[in-house]
Structure 1
Amino acid sequence: MQIHHDPANQEFTAGSPSDPAELAYSLPQAGIIDFTHTFVPEAQRGQGLAEELARTGLAYARQQHLKVRTSCKFMRAFVQRNKEEYQDILEA
């Protein structure tokens, strides 16, 4: 699965170019990335797209030495389910 990072629009996208799944983020302050929104089109749900976007976004945060905030309900739940893997990059 190809995931595209578009820093100008602050999003990661995957799936159909005409109707992509997306993980949006903001950079509210220095050293913080806030994952604000996850969307997967109805026809693409159940294929693991949201999880792949989450893993890619969190890997990006780790590579950039950013602390993670999860305003998005899906991302909050994903991080909770995988807390041991991501505890070190979560905002205190």
Structure 2
Amino acid sequence: MEKIDHLPEQNMFLIDVGGNRGELHYRLSEQPSGTTSIDFTSTFVPPVFRGKGLAEKLVRAGIKWAKEQGYELHASCWYAAKFIR
């Protein structure tokens, strides 16, 4: 099972597979209501590892973390948006 690392200082989740990196990037913003929202902005998995569910693992890890923080979920990334609807 691949390990997913969260790098909050870089606003990203990272999965390493044989020295190749898959990434999920996000942006946090404070809303006028006082809540924080998260926008998952992009996902990337090296072509050789596409179709193996790695991007899904990244997105699910990101959503799980964001829900634990109580963030409002958004996704400008089309792939991440599929999991938020």
| TM-score (structure 1 length as normaliser) | 0.79
What percentage of aligned pairs have identical amino acids?
38
Distance 1:17 1:66 in 2: 32
Structure with bigger strand share is 2
Choose which of 53, 77, 85 in structure 1 pairs with 2:82. 77
Partner of 1:32: 37
| TM-score (structure 2 length as normaliser) | 0.85
Distance 2:6 2:13 in 1: 4
Partner of 1:2: 3
Distance 1:55 1:8 in 2: 20
Deviating beyond 4 angstroms after TM superposition, the runs of 4 or more aligned structure 1 residues are none
Number of aligned pairs?
80
Distance 2:18 2:71 in 1: 28
**AA at the equivalent of 1:23:** L
Structure 1: gaps spanning 5 or more residues: 81-92
Distance apart, 1:40 and its partner CA:
0.6
Structure 2: gaps spanning 5 or more residues: none
Cα RMSD (Å) of the superposition? Answer: 1.4
